[in-house]
């Protein structure tokens, strides 16, 4: 699913809109854009979603700035020059990525350093190595036994 995220027609990863200007000199400051993004969040979601920002993704070639929030999977795209809200979307791709790497548990339990993700990836990686080794042994051992029987005959 992650391989298809940019080709899903906006189902997995929201489509990136286009702004009015690609000239950074005409853009509003990040502080002003941040204020506008938080206002748009509060206006669109009256249930008071957290305004903690996870990352700001500037796309100068498209003239937009994406604000992605830390405590929920919401993205707000603003025109870099005018501050106009271009899109408000749910980032399904972030949910899928967190399920994929185990960090969804750190998100749900609000751990600080990704301890659950570390344990999760260590256990699954070790399990994969164990399955690989035992699978090879189950394939190779009968061949080895047959070869020993043929040599003894």
pLDDT tens profile 49-85: 899 999 999 999 999 999 999 989 999 999 999 999 9
- Mean of all residue pLDDT scores within the chain: 93
Distance, in Å, from the CA atom of 65 to the CA atom of 56, rounded to the nearest integer, reads: 7
Task: Indicate yes or no: pTM above 0.85.
Answer: no
Has residue 112 got a pLDDT over 90? no
């Amino acid at each position: 699913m992650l391989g298809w995220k940019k080709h899903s027609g906006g189902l997995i990863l929201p489509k990136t809109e286009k702004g009015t200007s690609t000239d950074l000199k005409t853009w509003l400051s990040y502080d002003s854009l941040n204020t506008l993004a938080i206002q748009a969040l509060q206006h669109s979601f009256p249930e008071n979603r957290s305004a903690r920002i996870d990352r700001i993704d500037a796309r100068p070639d498209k003239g937009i700035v994406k604000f992605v929030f830390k405590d929920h999977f919401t993205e707000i795209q603003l025109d870099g020059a005018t501050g106009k809200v271009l899109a408000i979307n749910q980032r399904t791709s972030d949910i899928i990525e967190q399920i994929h790497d185990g960090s969804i548990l750190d998100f749900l339990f609000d751990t600080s350093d990704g301890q659950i993700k570390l344990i999760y990836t260590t256990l699954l990686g070790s399990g994969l190595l164990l399955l690989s080794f035992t699978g090879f042994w189950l394939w190779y051992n009968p061949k080895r036994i047959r070869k020993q029987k043929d040599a003894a005959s």
